[in-house]
Structure 1
């Protein structure tokens, strides 16, 4: 199969894979690795372990897996199908499909909202990615060895309070992302993913292997896989529902953009299922790597967001080989962050490419530098502007910094709404024939079951999450 197919909707670009037309992933495996790289990010290695710890372990994991099946996979299938059928950036794909099916031009806003969400998310995601870069150096330099919880806390607090250090790491992270995306789909993203994803799997397996050598591996395994439903609350169920949606990079235009590069002979349903399995396995492996270390050092699994940057460094500082394994862990965190970040920049760059006179390099620079500049607001909200609460006059937003507001708006409003309308568009508005053609599963029982879930179950579940987040 050739890597490139002609698409007149795409303008010229400097990258090697856009001269001949719209780029394509070279294979199904390439798309799986890229989509998995987008899905596998800080949410798997940072957020999933601590929310599992906060919500009782095994019972939460079971609910989470059910939610992946009912929400994550159907929306991913729909988003990729829309992207492939449109063959353009999220905005132009929605414009093309709405026009083709005689629908309202307002559907273009669905693509626009996804692209804006990815833009906003990357602006603060890159700052957190910068924390991981900083911690690679801290661990490799032996700064965690023998450190107390107070000194580790002071180290993290010192990082957040120093805007210049944060700016340096934020800038370095964004430079890495821009360099990869600027090289194009086959020469940039695909080549990087082919290196980074195997590295990520190798690193996480090494970490799990080390965890297996500790006396607390059994306790960590039991905590993760032995359900105790007495510990599961309504809030925990809704948290699982929300995380199942967010972990797969849905509602941000990412899967639409990646889907636009997917060859027509690749099964979207099988591929989406594979990506979801890979994402879930990595999250579970992260738990198997982290919880034994937490238990072996007498720490609490429900330590919250500080589990990675404040609790685990204490464990690394006290265990044999802590410098090596601590460094490997934070390299793993950086790799996961980079693979997600390039997918967040891609919808923006793809849209720029489709505008006359803007090639991929310039699109990556314009988009990346704009995101970098917006990220400075997040940096300042962690220190110099920590007392600045732009919407503090409203009770709901009292005490929220710019960083908090960006996180709230994207996670609680834009992404759920994006996922909801993606499900509604394919379930109720896209022509049945178009849906059948993209899914390639015929129009029998499997197709009818999928469309029933996409039309009724998935929107209802997303609405529950959306309303809950607003309460």
Structure 2
């Protein structure tokens, strides 16, 4: 997984890069966007306890299995299963993983595109508050302002599509750049920022 693998295969250059990339794949938008709502709707602390138990009983063993398979095979999911279980149908499990990632990617890029749009708008709102008249707004007026912005953004199809395409381009560029110069480099920057945002929200 770290640099020095088979042949000229691109790989991570540091343990922190591996940790940042793995954390980024395990902790995503759902932890800010959907998970708190699900916890609140399903019992709060009791739900968290059951959730943690299932992670310990199922999630961690499956994750460790993936690490072992990937580390030993040094191949993509389909190729790894073909190598460790030749002549069997286990390569379909690898294919299922690839399909699952594609399905997740198909809606995450939409949500991430919306997030990127709001990040850029937030910078404008912070740098030029007088342009939007925030100083004279009470809570009700602020709520109405952001509600109007949301309705304006979602009333047509082109703005969401444009931000979706921007996110697709950025994601594709990072992946094409490779493990070391793409995924690892970006993960080292974005994951600390993400954890800082989580701490601020808490």
Under a length normalisation based on structure 1, what TM-score does the superposition of the two structures give? 0.38
**In the alignment, which of 101, 115, 123 is matched to residue 118 of structure 1?**
101
Contact 1:37 1:193 in 2 (8 A): yes
Contact 1:30 1:194 in 2 (8 A): yes
Structure 2 CA distance, aligned partners of 1:87 and 1:41? Answer: 25
Contact 2:174 2:182 in 1 (8 A): yes
Is 1:166 matched up with 2:166?
no
**In the alignment, which of 66, 74, 90 is matched to residue 87 of structure 1?**
74
**In the alignment, which of 65, 71, 74 is matched to residue 58 of structure 2?**
71
Cα shift at 1:177:
1.1
**Aligned 1:23-422 pairs, distance under 5 A:** 23-99=10-86, 104=88, 106-142=89-125, 145=134, 146=137, 147=141, 149-205=143-199, 207-208=200-201, 288=202
For 1:165, what is the secondary structure of its paired residue?
Answer: helix
Cα shift at 1:141:
3.2
In structure 2, relative to structure 1, the CA distance for the partners of 1:150 and 1:202 (3 Å cut) is closer
Structure 2 CA distance, aligned partners of 1:133 and 1:195? Answer: 16
Contact 2:69 2:80 in 1 (8 A): yes
Instruction: Compare relative contact order (CA 8 Å, sep 6+) and give the higher one, 1 or 2.
Output: 1
In structure 2, relative to structure 1, the CA distance for the partners of 1:144 and 1:42 (3 Å cut) is farther
- In the comparison of the two structures, how many residue pairs are matched? 191
In structure 2, relative to structure 1, the CA distance for the partners of 1:144 and 1:38 (3 Å cut) is farther
Cα shift at 1:44:
0.9
Cα shift at 1:69:
0.9
Contact 1:144 1:152 in 2 (8 A): no
Structure 1 CA distance, aligned partners of 2:70 and 2:3? Answer: 17
Cα shift at 1:192:
1.3
For 2:34, what is the secondary structure of its paired residue?
Answer: helix
Structure 2 CA distance, aligned partners of 1:138 and 1:130? Answer: 12
Structure 2 CA distance, aligned partners of 1:74 and 1:130? Answer: 33
Cα shift at 1:184:
0.8
Structure 1 CA distance, aligned partners of 2:36 and 2:50? Answer: 15
Cα shift at 1:98:
1.1
Match of 1:371 in 2: none
For 2:43, what is the secondary structure of its paired residue?
Answer: coil
Unaligned runs of 5+ in 1: 8-19, 209-287, 289-471
Structure 2 CA distance, aligned partners of 1:72 and 1:185? Answer: 24
In structure 2, relative to structure 1, the CA distance for the partners of 1:198 and 1:117 (3 Å cut) is same
Contact 1:138 1:144 in 2 (8 A): no
RMSD: 2.3
Contact 2:2 2:12 in 1 (8 A): no
**Aligned 1:416-435 pairs, distance under 5 A:** none
Match of 1:293 in 2: none
Cα shift at 1:154:
4.1
Contact 1:3 1:25 in 2 (8 A): yes
Unaligned runs of 5+ in 2: 126-131
For 2:85, what is the secondary structure of its paired residue?
Answer: helix
Cα shift at 1:144:
10
In structure 2, relative to structure 1, the CA distance for the partners of 1:2 and 1:135 (3 Å cut) is closer
Per-residue Cα deviation, 1:399-442 (whole angstroms, up to 9, x for no partner): xxxxxxxxxxxxxxxxxxxxxxxxxxxxxxxxxxxxxxxxxxxx
